[in-house]
Chains A and B, each alone.
Chain A
Amino acid sequence: MDPGQVDEFVMGYLKKKGFNSAAKHLQESLHNNNGSTFSSNDYHNDPELNKLIRSFSQSENDPSRYREGYSKLRSWGYNSLDLYKHELVRVMYPVFIHCYMDLVGKGHTQEARSFFNSFRKDHEMVHLRDLQKLGGVLAPSHLQEMEFARSLRQSKVNIKICQYSYDLLIQYLHRTESTLMLGIINEHINFQVYSGQPNSASDDTEAVTIVGSFHETADHVNQKEIHWGLLEDSLEDRLEKTGGLLSDSEKGQGESKAGDMDDSKKRSAEIGKQGSSIKKLKKDKAGTATAKVARQETSTVLSSMPRVKPELAMPVMSADVEESILEDLRNRVQLSSIAMPSVSFYTFVNTHNGLNSSSISHDGSLVAGGFSDSSIKVWDMAKIGQAGSCGLQDENNQTVGLNGRRNYTLLVGHSGPVYSATFSPPGDYVLSSSADTTIRLWSTKLNANLVCYKGHNHTVWDAQFSPFGHYFASCSHDRTARIWSMDRMQPLRMMAGHLSDVDCVQWHPNCNYIATGSSDKTVRLWDVQTGECVRIFIGHRSMVLSLAMSPDGRYMASGDEDGTIMMWDLSTARCITPLMGHNSCVWTLSYSGEGSLLASGSADCTVKLWDVSSSTKLTKAEEKNGNSNRLRSLRTFPTKSTPVHALRFSRRNLLFAAGAISKPSS
């Protein structure tokens, strides 16, 4: 580059950047020293500076620099040493998407598109969905508009890389003077260099999802302490403690009641809003009030599992309900990898593609379906079973049907497709959520709508009762999850933080936490009391569709769109192991009563049973051995072309499943 050109470029650059006075000054000095390049030779003669200026001049105005730079970097990366290759290749993806977004941002749409298309193949395997999203970005304005792109632009990606790989990369970038790539890497990648050998290629799960600034926050969030233990004085505890002597424990509770009441009152005063509702309830059933608070000392002694206090004021349970639950628990079949459950399957027929969701009550006697025509239908299987058992009455049934009497209860009230309909634990209420942004509470005894909860701004995808009833959680397209109590029109808590739709919600067995799965491919755990996010689980590669919490409260399973199920340890926020086996959406997950089996239902028309007891044992061993284990699929029950929409282990460990038969499309 001859001096004249350099001068010209420097001038242009200064003007472009708005340093007008400096440009003027330079021009003047150039004029003055015309012929004798006195003042300017300080940068003409410095080769380093010259080089820099040259690279500046090229990168400023040439979109093909990106392609060139990236393809060079790529071929270098792919030809590097095998041992370090995967680490270097991992760098490619952020560079790739930022190159692309740079090009788009500068308005080189055509270049950007051809760049994107020529290199997207490299990343499709891992980042297909992100690429599909980004592929639509074609104008600078889209970058601003699209949440995903914006978060990518604003954040840095953390990449763990070993010292040697890092040195290799930096050396390469300097040697080839690819300042453009260096710039992108500096700007968007945050290297965490560690000494020693590179990690094996398999354990780079963290590198899989690049979702904005998640990793930093996730790491930060996941430091928080959580108490995953069950509630003190839960029914299971009492069962263990008393064996069959229920009356004794009742008496004991009666005695401790007086002391506890004060405590609980104090607590409810602290809690504020929720407390008042409980007080009301307590007044109603003051006689049987069993305050499930306190008695810390005894409970810790009694069980090896940690126990926690409830942060919410818990609703009271009527004595007969409690007794029936205890009766169920006593009669529970112990399941394990050798003792398999029986599976009862409820098949919806003639749904005309309108069944959006279905759910089964805890005792399996009620089945609800939410339909796209805004209706909810509730079947009482106990009655149907009776009718069916009488054989000849089938004909009668049909005539009844023709007369207009249906064998289900039709609940009409929503004004949009119903995306969820779930039962309260005793089965006396149905909670439904719909595209009309409302959540409705129905009574199965009155067959009528009781309350319409308005609060969400968008379609409510899911709503779930807490394990003890009264409270419920909902999640929506408006990217929030909310906690409600039945007696309030307004939500008690709002959980905001997901970067996309919140698709499913599930309560922790101790009611202190809720888990939400989202289209941003993460699962979050929220503290119900504070409304804070306490855990972020990163690892899914597509939208999370289903969640289940283990009965001991320690583990969580989540199923995604690709058919992967992940088992998470709540305390460490790490994936114990992915359960691979389904090849389509996992619609539903359910833990057996004692937590040894996990059932999963999928769009591939199978119910699978997984042995998760071994996994928990093995993880303990794993800590010692340091080798990863695989959970095992125990059984696969194929249905006759019926995708499985809902699964529920009853308290006695009978597995209920439901799905709408789909005729193979011809």
Chain B
Amino acid sequence: MSIVPKETIEVIAQSIGITNLSPEAALMLAPDVEYRVREIMQEAIKCMRHSKRTTLTASDVDGALNLRNLEPIYGFGSGGPIRFRKAIGHRDLFYTDDREVDFKDVIEAPLPKAPLDTEIVCHWLAIEGVQPAIPENAPLEVIRAPAENQIYQQKDGPLIDIRLPVKHVLSKELQLYFQKIAELTLSKSNPSLFKEALVSLASDSGLHPLVPYFTNFIADEVSRGLNDFLLLFNLMHVVRSLLQNPHIHIEPYLHQLMPSVVTCLVSRKLGNRFADNHWDLRDFTANLVALICKRFGNTYITLQSRLTKTLVNALLDPKKALTQHYGAIQGLAALGHNVVRLLVLSNLEPYLSLLEPELDAEKQKNQMKSYEAWRVYGALLRAAGLCIHDRLKIFPTLPSPSPSFPSKGKGKVISTEPNKRKLGVDSSENRSPHKRLIATDGPDGGPSPMQVDRPTGDANPPQNSVRPSSSEQASDGNAPESRNAKEKDGSKGRAITRKAILDQIWKDDLDSGRLLVKLHQLYGDRILPFIPSTEMSLFL
């Protein structure tokens, strides 16, 4: 009932010489003691307030006793806090640690220094509302006064709330969430749970406050964990999920995110074990990069150009490892056919000649190197093939739906069969001019449904726009449908002067034809699966 137990009353009674205190009396006294103590504390708090302090001191209690007309506590204070010691053998029994003091020591001790006298120091806390940065003032970083312009804003709208910059406070829940995600990303032991986490990252609203933490986390971990393949893969998954989340506004953090992502694409070494399929990671990251460019390319015009520059540099530097080349090729390929045509195909010939010795099983003894070279070769082939396929696909004359296009997987299959390789001159080379002519005949005779699409598409390539090509690349399987849609669009725009368009088409197709020939030169038959059968029949 009372805070003061009756045992305490009994003990106190004994200590002041009352031995025959009845238990009932103690029980009655206990609540009263508590009441009196509370009363004194209430007065002591008043004394404290009037002494302009926020910590209660012994002198306040003295003051309170004085206010209540009670006998003051006599004696000297120790000057320090009372130390309590635990009594040995008892769990909740304490006693005050009272040191014995030798009188001699006290007498012989040198006199203490006189306390410094009270003084007043004067300084400017503020000059016309601005705090000068002088040592007497609190450092400005702690709380910064609102900036000058905000003050003037007030004049216009008197109801604007001025808020001092506050520390970024994360709620407990978000902290936990972040910790959990980070843990899962790092642990790699629970793939199913990690998948759930990714889904949550990609869909949950309200994660925005965590974005800076995630970007930091990703940057840190990527720079630290280049040897840890799984970790990198997990991190890229996290990036992808963050990008997918519609509630997150990630643009301001892209500049922090991009280096990590690009690292995962073109780093010399990702993972330290042979079994680590870093090719997969590079493919995945390439798609990620493409996604980023697609989404933010419009807002950040320099984003893609900077990225392609980095990738092309990586590709064209013969000193760089083949893995890096692979990553660069994949990255460029993911960015779309126009990019490939402009940046990869133009450099294809010299590059392939460089690659040649590596590919040769006799010359390149290192199995690993050879394998890598073949990977790169495959990637190049695929990029070029998809590019040329895209070019040829636009020939509209052939109404038959395109055969199932070689997908990513097929490209790989090819690339992993080095024995089939046969780099030789093909007979089709000679015939190609004719083919070109035939091919260009097509649009003249046909209904030319692609008028609208093509001119715009042709105007774009120099700007590295990924708009049409990458979308097609991403939805290879949907090509027929999208084509149909385009045909519909095209039929609307038929009024456009046919002549100019035809010229354009002619030039375009000429380019395509030339390209095809060149590719055929370089790749031989291996390029053929990329060419739609109907086209092929025309060309070959």
Contact = CB atoms under 8 A, between A and B. Distances in A.
Given A142-B35, A345-B123, A401-B117, A638 B129 contact: no
B51 interface: yes
Contacts of A369: 118
Interface stretch (B154-162, B190-198, B208-216, B501-509): B154-162
B55 A385 contact: no
A344 B123 CA distance: 6
Q: Of residues B66, B122, B155, B162, which shows the largest number of chain A Cβ atoms within 10 Å of its Cβ?
A: B122
Contacts of B445: none
A640 B121 contact: no
Contacts of B145: 635-637
A173 interface: no
Contacts of B128: 339-342
B142 A545 contact: no
27 contacts: A138-B1, A138-B31, A138-B32, A139-B31, A142-B32, A337-B151, A337-B155, A341-B126, A341-B128, A346-B121, A349-B118, A350-B115, A350-B118, A356-B51, A367-B120, A388-B122, A406-B117, A416-B66, A419-B51, A435-B63, A461-B50, A543-B49, A605-B138, A609-B129, A618-B158, A632-B158, A632-B161
A545 B46 CA distance: 10
Interface in A106-152: 109-110, 113-114, 132-133, 135-139, 141-142
Contacts of A349: 116, 118-121
Interface in A536-594: 543, 545, 561, 584-585, 587
B63 A357 contact: no
Contacts of A477: 46, 67
Nearest to A377: B118
Given A113-B1, A349-B116, A435-B63, 12 more contacts: A136-B35, A338-B151, A342-B124, A342-B126, A345-B122, A384-B122, A632-B154, A633-B162, A636-B145, A638-B142, A643-B52, A660-B52
A561 B49 contact: yes
A501 interface: yes
A240 to B, nearest CB: 26
A137 B54 contact: no
Given A338-B152, A356-B51, A637 B126 contact: yes
A347 B136 contact: yes
Contacts of A519: 46
Contacts of B130: 340
Contacts of B426: none
Interface string B275-317: 0000000000000000000000000000000000000000000
B107 interface: no
A330 interface: no
Interface string B120-151: 11111111111100001110001101100001
B158 A372 contact: no
Nearest to A388: B122
Nearest to B127: A342
A408 B161 CA distance: 44
A139 B31 CA distance: 7
Given A349-B119, A459-B67, A417 B51 contact: yes
A293 B512 CA distance: 106
- What are the 3 A-B residue pairs with the smallest beta carbon separation, nearest first? A340-B129, A138-B31, A136-B38
A278 interface: no
A350 B119 contact: yes
A179 interface: no
Given A419-B50, A636-B145, A637-B125, A381 B67 contact: no
A353 interface: yes
Interface string B151-180: 110110011011010000000000000000
A161 interface: no
A398 to B, nearest CB: 10
Given A342-B127, A543-B49, A665 B120 contact: no
Contacts of B54: 584-585, 603, 643
Contacts of B137: 638-640
B2 A352 contact: no
Contacts of B35: 136-139, 142
A381 B122 contact: yes
A33 interface: no
Nearest to B123: A345
Interface in B9-62: 28, 31-32, 34-35, 38-39, 42, 46, 49-55, 57, 59
Contacts of B1: 109-110, 113-114, 138
A343 interface: yes
B151 A665 contact: no
Given A461-B50, A657-B125, A139 B120 contact: no
B126 A340 contact: yes
Contacts of B122: 344-347, 381, 384-385, 388
A352 B136 contact: no
A349 B115 CA distance: 12
A261 interface: no
Given A109-B1, A587-B52, A614 B158 contact: yes
A537 to B, nearest CB: 19
B94 to A, nearest CB: 23
A501 B115 contact: no
A379 interface: yes
Interface string A12-42: 0000000000000000000000000000000
B115 A138 contact: no
Contacts of B116: 349-350
Contacts of A643: 52, 54
Interface string B455-496: 000000000000000000000000000000000000000000
A65 B155 CA distance: 61
Contact of A585 (B31, B49, B121, B164): B49
B120 A347 contact: yes
B8 to A, nearest CB: 15
A458 interface: yes
B54 to A, nearest CB: 5
A385 B169 CA distance: 44
B150 to A, nearest CB: 10
A348 B52 contact: no
Interface string A379-401: 10100110010000000000001
A629 interface: yes
A338 B161 CA distance: 15
A379 B119 CA distance: 9
